[in-house]
Amino acid sequence: MAKIACFGCGVCCVAPDIAALGKAIGVPCPHLRADLRCAIYADRPQVCRDYPADELCLAVDAPTLEERVDRYLAAFGLERPPSTSAV
Ligand code: SF4
Ligand code: SF4
């Protein structure tokens, strides 16, 4: 996929599971601030540093974080666990 500049939508900090953080699918990372910035940016795990901003970010873009997360999960054939919410 073609690389793009990250536009800070926050979906990659909520939608995927991140083993290095013990984070489940669809659950906001505890380090994600309300403004969708990373509270530990300088010390974030390598997996976060390596995450590519690419066309998928554009494909799942939507007006709300909730919608973006649902679109991201759908792109991978996944569903949000019923008890979780992006916001
Ligand atoms: S999903 Fe893409 S655009 Fe959104 S914060 Fe992550 S890398 Fe940036
Ligand atoms: S550590 Fe930072 S970059 Fe990584 S998922 Fe959490 S908020 Fe996002």
pLDDT 10s digits, 22-77: 999 999 999 999 999 999 999 999 999 999 999 999 999 999 999 999 999 999 99
pTM over 0.85: yes
Name the residue with the closest Cα to ligand 2, atom 4. Answer: 48
pLDDT at 87 over 60: no
Q: CA 77 to CA 56: how far, in whole Å?
A: 14
List of residues 6+ apart from 4 with CB closer than 8 A: 53, 54, 55, 57, 58
**Which numbered ligand comes closest to the C-alpha of 68?**
1
Q: CA 15 to CA 23: how far, in whole Å?
A: 10
Atom of ligand 2 nearest to the CA of 29: 6
